[in-house]
Chain A
Amino acid sequence: MIIMLVLLAAILLVGGWFFTTYNSLVSLKVRVENAWSQIDVQLKRRHDLIPNLVEAVKGYMNYEKDTLERVIKARNQAIDASSIKDKAQAENFLSSTLKSLFAVVERYPDLKANQNVLKLQEELTSTENKISFARQYYNDEAGRFNTQILIVPGNIVAGAVGFTQRDFFQIEDKTEKEVPQVKF
């Protein structure tokens, strides 16, 4: 009788522990997914802004057609990318082409004097910042989730229900905090 009771208590205890751990892991997972959708929103915003910028500067830049074409190409690639790793790579490429576009803009005084171009540039800078903040938030959350499913109580539960580690959204640049800074 006593053994039965002890066994029952043990089962209840283990079950309770299992479910609380599982629940906390799930809530972490939801936060990671939420963070990922944030990045997506910002990436889409950037993809929408780029054609406007290209349109605005096109008239001024007769000799820089290939820079513009590269930006457009990078943008289309970024839209097509699907997995996290592909996306990260495509967005990195897009960022670097944008950087060179902004460098070109610097050389055209007419462009710098155009409030419309300046506005678009500010919007893009802001979006770049938002992307990097969203990425930072996503990486923080993903890191927390990954730690939880690796350390001892979590890894048992994660193994049982099949939670896997999330990829980080990384950029190749060593200077993590450096966003392409636009000088007006």
Chain B
Amino acid sequence: MPFSFIEIEEKKTKIIGFLFVFIIFFYFLTAYLILLVLVNTSLFSSVEDGGVRYFTLPSLQHTLIVFVVASVVGLLHWWASTSDLINKICGLIGAVPIDSKDTYHQYLKNIVEEVSVAIGGRPLEAWVLPSVSMNAFALEDFNGRAVIGVTEGLLTRLSRAQIEAVVGHEAGHIISGDCLSTTVTCALAEIYEEGSTHLASGLNKMRGRSSGVLVLVYMILAVMRFFSSLIRYFISRQREYRADAVSTRLTRDPLSLAEALKLISTNWRGSGAQGEKLQSIFIMNPAYNGLDEKEGLFSDMFSTHPPIKNRIGILLNMAHLDEKTLEENLKNFKRVSPIAEVETKIEESDLGRKWFAFIGQEWQGPFGISELKNMPALTPEDWVRPDGSQGVIHAYEDKALLGLFSKDAGAGDKEKSLCPHCKVSLEEVTYEGAPMLKCNYCQGVFVEEGKVSRILIRQDKQFSEEIARLGKTLISEKQKFAAKQGTDNVWALDCPKCSRKMLRQFFVYSYPVEVDRCAYCGGTWFDKYELEILQYLYENKEVLFKQGLT
């Protein structure tokens, strides 16, 4: 370990104390400057001697008052920023706790737990940032609660070992003690960003009023902007190297970390609009910053992250490898999906099959698989005969039918959602690891708010010819379509979750797939194929749009 436990604690307290003093001092300085301006303007009728103005300092009494006010404001700021630290920052960047029903999230939880064991059993929470970008972050608060978050994009594109290395890096920030100070610094700076945005919008309304107030507000605004940029000085770039070192110590796998860094650096690492303000909590600066890639005193002071080349270089050195091997590795890199293969081809083959079933002392049918599924009389012991074959077997002996029974087991007597078309109960399934509700009659699915993005980001699904054809047609015929905004009530579907009427609209205009959306809960109903087509369009956008234009 780079530091002993006591050293870390001492260092933490020192930095936090320094930040606290700095904030009070900063407020004092600001208020004092304002006071100075006020005293020297005519408002406070300064000493005038035959038309010549003299520069005057405020009296001691005023200075004291200013000091007290500054301390109170500083304390309030401190209190406001540091209470509920983690939830606040996570809310800002849009991170959410993991969804225990989601296969990918469970997988992340396992990895984070593994790393937690590696650092000696300290509990770590796993959070997810629903974004296509690749990045990871760590947060810690005063109670020792620690959070490690990664983006969906990273979860989808890196291998297990690489994610482990990235999580190890974040854990490195937490155990070497720089995470708390970074989190606090971010929370402190964040108020200024927020404040200056509010002020700027307020300013527009105030235009034309007394100019004195305007000047004052402008001054505060400028100072706030300055402060939020100033606060970065507290964050040393060295801590990134240190966290890389800890990660290597934990996973004994410098190569995976180097690979992960390389992959992250060559992909988009942005994390939404707000993320860029809080760059120092991420493994790699979300906003590309030329300064990061430079060395020297100047960039050491102003930048939060060291040059990626250096970081990879050090790691490769540890692994006794050179850059060529890394590139070679990445070229041959193939990720293993945690999703079962069967899911990726939603039993297309079984859909066409038919069975005769021996029910009520007579042969009935032929039935499709979805009909059998919703037939309450069918038990695993019943005799069935696949269409086109003469052999009679038990229902459980047919693999496709066996699947029906095992899925039924978990259904329970929970309040069931109904398919808006067929009015039969929907079944909970996972698709690319994301939980959703599916109708076995019409093959439509209902996806709750925020989960569509997960499916779009993940790439486990192999698309059939038919989907590709439909997708291409949709793009080339795009202009002919117009979404029916505000459909009449007869055709509007009921939301399976909250039973309100849903709106028929394009998913988004660039992906002209028509879907039904519930304005109340944010859930989306996809009819058969609609989800796959949307996914196909999203994942092949470059190719498709180029074709569509020519």
Contact = CB atoms under 8 A, between A and B. Distances in A.
A115 B343 contact: yes
Which of the listed residues A136, A176, A177 has the most CB atoms from chain B within 10 Å of its own CB? A136
A35 B338 CA distance: 30
A136 B343 CA distance: 37
Contacts, number: 65
Contact of A184 (B119, B336, B342): B336
SS of B interface (majority): helix
Contacts of B110: 122-123, 126
Interface string B103-130: 1001100110111011111000000000
B120 to A, nearest CB: 6
B250 A133 contact: yes
Nearest to B107: A122
A137 B340 contact: no
Contacts of B115: 133
Given A34-B121, A38-B120, A183-B336, A129 B114 contact: yes
Interface string A147-184: 00000000000000000000000000000110000011
Contacts of A110: 399
A112 interface: yes
A182 to B, nearest CB: 9
Nearest to A129: B114
B430 interface: yes
Interface string A102-132: 0000000110111100110011011001100
B188 to A, nearest CB: 34
Interface in B340-367: 340-343
Interface string B213-230: 000000000000000000
A97 interface: no
Contact of B342 (A113, A136, A137, A176): A113
B381 to A, nearest CB: 16
B117 A134 contact: yes
Nearest to A114: B340
Which of the listed residues A122, A133, A137, A184 has the most CB atoms from chain B within 10 Å of its own CB? A133
A177 B253 contact: yes
Contact of B114 (A35, A115, A130, A184): A130
A160 B119 CA distance: 32
Interface in B113-163: 113-115, 117-121, 160
Interface of B: 103, 106-107, 110-111, 113-115, 117-121, 160, 164, 250-253, 336-343, 399, 430
